Every structure is written in structure tokens, then in C-alpha cells.
Amino acid sequence: MCELLGMSANVPTDICFSFTGLIQRGGGTGPHKDGWGITLYEGYGYRTFKDSQACFHSPIARFIQDYPIKSRTVISHIRQANTGSVSLENTHPFTRALFGRYWTYAHNGQLKDYEQLDTGAITPIGNTDSEYAFCWILSQLSQRYHSIPKCWSSVFYFIEELSTQLTKSGIFNMLLSDGEYLMAFCATKLFWITRRAPFGKATLLDQDIEVDFQQQTNSDDVVTVITTEPLTTNETWNKMMPRECLLFRFGESTRASSKQKVLIS
């Protein structure tokens, strides 16, 4: 299985600390050595960095780790391939333009019969089940909305319905963003944490690194991090339930499924 990492913040924030924890699992402390990628939004524009080699050994990953590119919305992914070759075109996250916005997506899991999904004019470039599912979601959106939607919350409710449909074909844990909203859909495993004042210290699980967020933040900062597995040892993470969907905007949750969340330390 792959691992996901997402961030939503109310001010431009660097992802260096969380990304440092993630890349240890990409060929270091974990088996996810078949590529990695990260997309960072600047307004509605974006930067994407990808590599088909393990991020633990990737010079590009070290650049991102050391260079504090600040963003309000980030999606990252480390891959353990199950369908599709180990190649750049099969490396997440995937980004496509729709409704005048760039949509970025990353998936953890495996889907059956994915090649039967009708992607319409949005043709996959690679050959993974993940990209097929992304193209299908965008195709369904373009069929439902013939012009730019006026109510974005309804768009994400529809994506939640589509995500639930995909769980019938296998495991579908997903992060998706249009640059403003960050959506998390859980089929089996996702965790999240929202950090706000009073900020404290956090210690990475996969590397002996501690950061004092109090020294790096302002009192009104809000930062939410979503990941497949908790990244820190001394914080309380919220565990999402199967088929639970969360939507964040600028660090704050805009809505949640009715399913009860489970806390772990």
C-alpha cells in the first residue's frame, strides 16, 4: 500500500517537518520505494515535484525537505506499486484542469476492473487504477456540471458519492484538492490533526527530530495535516472511520461525516 500526506492551512506554511517524517517511509523505515510526489499550491497555481525512485534516496526529496516552500494546500504521496509500472507517469499526485481550477489527487489502495471506468474525454496518461479513478471522477463532474459550479460544497458532496461507489471495487483512500479545499475520503485508514494555539512541541515517529511549533507560528495560525499513519509520537491524532469524508478549507473543517472519530495518542 501507498501512503498519503495532505496539509490545509490558513496562512502559507511549509511542509518540511511532516514531509521529513514521510520520506523516511519511502525506502527507509517503510517499503514505499516505487516513487513519490508532492504538489504545493500557490493561490490557484501549483508546483509539483516527482521522482520514480524512492524518496528516501531522492535528491529532489532532499531539496523539498530543506527548502521551505510555503503553501496553504499540499498533497503528497509515496508509492508501493501494485498496478502500473514504476515510472514517472504513474507517480502521484496527478493534476488536471477543470472548471478553471487545477485539481490534484492521490490515492492509496487497489481497485478491481478499473479499466472499465468510463473516463470520457479525460484520458489517463499512465496505466494505474489510481489515475483511472481520478479521470472518472473528473469526467463525472464535467457531465454533471456543464459550467463552473456556483455551490462548491455540492461539488464535494458529489465527489463523496463517487468515492463511495469506488469502494465497491476495492480500497479507496483519497486526498483531493482544487487549491482552496482539501478533501479526505477514508476507506480503511486515514488520520488527521489540527494544530492551533497554544502550539506545542512535536516529535517525529520515524526520525529523532523535534520541532517547537510555538517558535514558528503566530497565535491565529491553523494547520491541519492528514496522513495514512500518524507522523508524531507525542500528539493526539484523529482516526477516520470507513467511508468517512472530511473537507477542509484554510485549515478548518467545513463539514464532517456523522461517523464518530477515534482518537489515538
* Catalytic residue list: 2
Task: Please return the burial class of 49, using the count of CB atoms within 10 Å of its CB with bins 0-12, 13-18 and 19+.
Answer: middle
Please say whether the beta carbons of 181 and 10 come within 8 A: no
Instruction: Show the cell assigned to 122.
Output: 479525460
Instruction: Show the cell assigned to 99.
Output: 472548471
What is the spatial distance between Cα 20 and Cα 31, in angstroms, rounded to a whole number? Answer: 16
Instruction: Show the cell assigned to 78.
Output: 509515496
The strand pairing partners of 158, in sequence order, are none
Please say whether the beta carbons of 3 and 227 come within 8 A: yes
Phi, psi of 4 (to 5 degrees): -115, 155
Instruction: Show the cell assigned to 87.
Output: 515510472
Please say whether the beta carbons of 239 and 229 come within 8 A: no
List CB contacts of 143: < 8 A, sequence separation 6 or more: 120
SS3 222: strand
